[in-house]
Chain A
Amino acid sequence: MTHEITITRVYDAPPRLVWAAWTEPEQLAAWWGKRGWTARPESVELDVRPGGNFRVTTVNDDDGSEMTNEGTYTEVDEPRRLAFGETIVTFTDLGDGRTEMTFRTTTEASGELLGRMKGGMESAFGRLDDHLKETT
């Protein structure tokens, strides 16, 4: 499918801080994952260079079930652009201490990634209890 998912957010922080939040394991663990899931800081491995791998394991706060995200960085341009798989994240300095972050990914990549995420959860726990919401 050629459909793309694009999410744009403006953060009240300069690009170097947003970049650090993406690339320092302890910081990434503080925000990565759905609500109700917590990343284990010791599980976060970020080899931030082209060809380097990342790996994050999050734990469900209620039932302790685990989910692992992993991938390979394809582009690392500090503090402007970070790409992994079919996903590109750009950080634009708005010049007033804020950063516009744009996240873009294709559905092929998301389907594959989610297939792995869901597959792992189902095989381990036999259910997928996340609520789904409408997007187009």
Chain B
Amino acid sequence: MNSDQLTVTFAALADPTRRSILARLARGEATVNELAAPFEISLQAVSKHLKVLEKAGLIARGKDRQLRPSRIQGAALGEAAAFLEDYREFWDDSFDRLGEHLREIQQ
């Protein structure tokens, strides 16, 4: 995944409604109607969210014109999580080394 795609993925994940939709899809595929049920928003609004998620590579949608069930795509989410884990490790390692450095300069 290039950094432009990652930016799109993080932008998609920035919205709480879209994260709720992803959480629902993590339990199995669902249609727009099923996804809209827990939210006080229109089907159109849900469809918009699904488009954003699809563009970010976070979900795939079925070809059936009427139902177009959505299902989660793990790869994009995994890439996003991997970046965060990598970032955390960068700082954890650095701060361990900072401790060693501070010990050395005070000896």
A→B interface (CB under 8 Å): 1-3, 5, 7, 9, 11-13, 17-18, 21, 27, 30-35, 101, 103, 107-108, 110-116, 118-119, 122, 130-135
B: interface residue count bin = 35 or more
Closest approach, in angstroms, between the C-beta of A21 and any C-beta of chain B?
6
**What sequence of 0s and 1s flags, for each residue 80-102 of chain B, a beta carbon within 8 Å of any chain A beta carbon?**
10111111111111111111111
B7 to chain A, nearest CB (A): 6
- A31, chain B: closest CB distance, angstroms: 4
Q: A3-B84, A30-B97, A107-B10 are in contact. List 11 more A-B contacts (CB 8 A).
A: A1-B14, A5-B84, A12-B99, A18-B102, A21-B102, A27-B105, A32-B94, A111-B10, A112-B10, A114-B84, A130-B89
| Distance to closest chain A CB from B72 (angstroms) | 16
B106 at the interface (CB under 8 A from A): yes
Q: Contact: B95 with A103, CB < 8 Å?
A: yes
B84 touches A34 (CB 8 A): no
B7, B82, B102, B104 interface centre (most CB from chain A within 10 Å): B102
CA distance A116 to B2 in the complex (A): 9
Assuming the contacts A12-B102, A133-B89, asked whether A118 and B3 have C-beta atoms less than 8 A apart, the reply is yes
User: Cβ of B19: which chain A residues have Cβ within 8 Å of it?
Assistant: 1
Interface residue from B16, B95, B103 paired with A9 (Cβ < 8 Å): B95
A110–B87 touching, CB < 8 Å: yes
Closest residue on chain B to residue A30 by CB atoms: B101
Is B6 in contact with chain A by the CB < 8 A criterion?
A: yes
B91 and A115 contacting across the interface, CB-CB below 8 Å: no
Contact of B103 among A12, A34, A35, A115 (CB under 8 A): A12
